[in-house]
Amino acid sequence: MFALVPLIVLFPLAGVVVNALFGRQLGAIRSAWLAVTMAALAFIVGLIQLGGLLGNGGEAVIVPVATWLSVGDLHVDWAFQVDALSVTMMLVVTGVGTLIHVYAVGYMREDVVHNGDPARYTRFFIFLNLFLAMMLILVGADGYAMLFVGWEGVGLSSYLLIGFWFEKGENNIGNTRAGMKAFIVNRVGDLGLMIAMALLFWNFGSLTYREVFENIEHALADPAALAILAAVGVLFLVGAAGKSAQFPLFVWLPDAMAGPTPVSALIHAATMVTAGVYLIARSNPIYHATADAYGFSPSDLVAWTGALTALIAATIAVAQNDIKKVLAYSTISQLGFMVAAAGMGAYVAAIFHLVTHAFFKALLFLGSGSVIQAMERGMHAAEDGHHGHVDPQDMRAMGGLWNRLPITKWTYLVGALALAGLPPLAGFWSKDEILLDAAEHFPAIYAVLAFTAVLTAFYVGRQLVMVFSGEPRTSAAAHAEESPAVMTGPLVALAVLSVLGGVLNLPKFGEHDPATWVHGLRNFLATALPVEGHGLIEANVAFPSAAFAFLALMFAYFFYRNAYRSAHDQDPLEGLGGLYRALSKKWYLDDLYDFFIVRPYETMAQVIARGFDQGGIDLVANSLGDLAREIAVGFSGFQRGLVRAYALVMFLGVVALLAWFQLAGPR
């Protein structure tokens, strides 16, 4: 049963290969459904692994596949580690991934027509399956080496998918630039991860989880080893900051919204960005070992990084007008919650929030894709000519969609309320676990996260009001049409998951609650992660968080209900002046990066390219070529075609030869 786990990677890879080689023969529809089938098969393999784990009491199983490197002391295998944590991740990735694949079948059909290249349809599914394979390598790895392969692989897939419409975007290069930005910023994080891996190998002799964590056990008393572990912990945070978009490396994620919406849902909400959280959770022995050794330990740093990221991103989300950008900053904020939970030692809470967030954030992104395409259909239907052209993603141009999109509206509402943390939806239970742990052990972080939760509810309410309520503000919104079933089906499925997802890990409502399904996820993950806390629901935390979320939603409703009469109205928050401008400009972080890093780098690149490469090296190479040509031209003077001249030269040559023989040559 466990031996089947390599299939979880091989099925999507097979999808990639078959679609790449035979995509044209299969045709668009069959290749897309093949990709969906491969994702579904991977999900089934994940379920089989779950069954196996439930059967053997959750004990971790290593499934080796092949040897990769055997160089000196370094021995790395391709091997899968099947334990509770990796199976949870696998199920989330393949489950939500399959739903998104189905959605993409419908979404991309319209998108390729809208962008004018129907032949690119199959390529999307090749990249999507590739991403799935890489992400499953990442979560199924038995050590940091194989994790890194998956880590880089998902970075590559992200780049390919963000820049899918590579000739579109600002100045016909915007999407490509967004893809490059994602790759380069991720690279900064990857450097941290690589150095950490090198440190681990050098000092602890291995890169597999089992061996590294065993060796850590033996080294606990040694302060030098603890220092190395602390450095590794901090460097893992750097890697996670790159991949999971934490401060200050989150700048790539909003730009990544340039990719098609299924990409935003799958990669930048549900799965790839959770890789950093997974890394920290998986490395919990390292954080545990260094937790007491220092006043401000690496896990404290992780917790504060997460908390601050959550707050900063939530403030920026309040001032965004693009529907996907709001969701992007919301994702960064919720990832901050997860990272903070991991830093506080509440690994189960972090993973629980990862799972529920995957449900409702993917739902929100897919829903936003449905809204965007509804606006595009509205633009076609309205046929207003030039007046009808609006940015289909700008919320100021929407409005009144509640009456026009019957299925999308309900699913989007469910997702939004789950994000805001309204009970009894999934988001409430998972966010509450994190807040509970913070309130008990880290009161300062609790304050930050609680305030962020209020902001979350506020910007969620703002988005709901701007998109759905009131009167349509443009003709595109007035003529918007609902999406087809292949798109609304996954929306409904994810909405159900967002409602029921809390059941995965309900807290106990009293010491006498014997229900076995309570704390299901915590009990399951207890075999792989340290669990702490009593698991009782705490009214002092739960009640205020629910109440504040509800109040913030109401406030947003009343504040924005009449704020936008036309598409050109100003946001009422603009009354805040400079603060609002800072928020909408993302606290000028991108501008700072541009000024201090990007511009000097580009200038230096220009200097080297023009001065040194073109002026120096090319000059030398071209001069040598010119010199050779001049010599050749000179010599071609001998070859003028005049026969008598040749005869003369021959004759003179013979004379010279004879003279030499006669006078000074050999006898």
Partner 1 sequence: MLPGIPTYAYVGLSAVLFAMGVIGVLTRRNAITIFMSIELMLNSANLVFVAYARQYASMNGQVFVFFVMVVAAAEVAIGLALIVAIFRSKRSIDVDALRQLNG
Rule CB under 8 A: which residues touch partner 1? 636, 639-644, 647-648, 651
Closer residue to partner 1 (CB): 617 or 647:
647
In single-letter form, the type of residue at position 357 comes to H
Q: E-assigned strands of 61-212?
A: 61-71, 74-82
Contact 348, 429 (CB under 8 A): no
Min CB(649)–partner 1 separation in Å: 10
Min CB(622)–partner 1 separation in Å: 23
Rounded Cα gap, residues 242 and 102, in angstroms = 29
Q: Is the dihedral of CA 299, 304, 305, 306 positive or negative?
A: positive
Min CB(624)–partner 1 separation in Å: 22
Min CB(647)–partner 1 separation in Å: 6
Closer residue to partner 1 (CB): 539 or 642:
642
Residue carrying structure tokens 């290069």:
173
Burial state string for 52-90 with b = 16 or more CB within 10 A and e = fewer than 16: bbeeeebebbbbebeeeeeeeeebbbbbbbbbbbbbbbb
Min CB(651)–partner 1 separation in Å: 6
**Residue among 38, 47, 56 nearest 125 (CA):** 38
Min CB(661)–partner 1 separation in Å: 17
Closer residue to partner 1 (CB): 554 or 655:
655
Rounded Cα gap, residues 253 and 269, in angstroms = 10
Min CB(629)–partner 1 separation in Å: 13
| CB neighbours of residue 222 within 10 Å | 12
CA distances from 464 to 326, 396, 415 (A): 11, 12, 11
What are phi and psi for residue 451, nearest 5 degrees? Answer: -60, -40
* Beta bridge pairs of residue 79: 64
Closer residue to partner 1 (CB): 579 or 654:
654
Closer residue to partner 1 (CB): 224 or 642:
642
Residue carrying structure tokens 């939760």:
453
Rounded Cα gap, residues 604 and 590, in angstroms = 20
Does the N-terminal peptide bond of residue 118 adopt cis geometry, omega within 30 degrees of 0? Answer: no
Closer residue to partner 1 (CB): 539 or 643:
643
* Beta bridge pairs of residue 70: 75
Residue carrying structure tokens 């023969």:
25
Closer residue to partner 1 (CB): 579 or 648:
648
Closer residue to partner 1 (CB): 509 or 651:
651
Contact 542, 517 (CB under 8 A): no
Contact 259, 128 (CB under 8 A): no
CA distances from 60 to 135, 211, 284, 362, 525 (A): 20, 14, 16, 29, 11
Closer residue to partner 1 (CB): 3 or 645:
645
Burial state string for 149-181 with b = 16 or more CB within 10 A and e = fewer than 16: bbbbbbbbbbbbbbbbbeebbeeeebbbbbbbb
Min CB(656)–partner 1 separation in Å: 14
Min CB(116)–partner 1 separation in Å: 52
Q: Which residues contact 130 (CB under 8 A, 6 or more apart)?
A: 12, 13, 16, 153, 157, 160
Min CB(636)–partner 1 separation in Å: 5
Contact 5, 140 (CB under 8 A): yes
Min CB(639)–partner 1 separation in Å: 5
Q: Is 637 exposed, middle or buried (0-12, 13-18, 19+ CB in 10 A)?
A: exposed
Min CB(630)–partner 1 separation in Å: 15
Min CB(640)–partner 1 separation in Å: 5
Closer residue to partner 1 (CB): 517 or 646:
646
Rounded Cα gap, residues 320 and 330, in angstroms = 11
Min CB(652)–partner 1 separation in Å: 10
Closer residue to partner 1 (CB): 72 or 641:
641
Closer residue to partner 1 (CB): 387 or 640:
640
Q: Which SS3 state, helix, strand or coil, does residue 508 take?
A: strand
Contact 256, 182 (CB under 8 A): yes
Closer residue to partner 1 (CB): 631 or 647:
647
Closer residue to partner 1 (CB): 66 or 633:
633
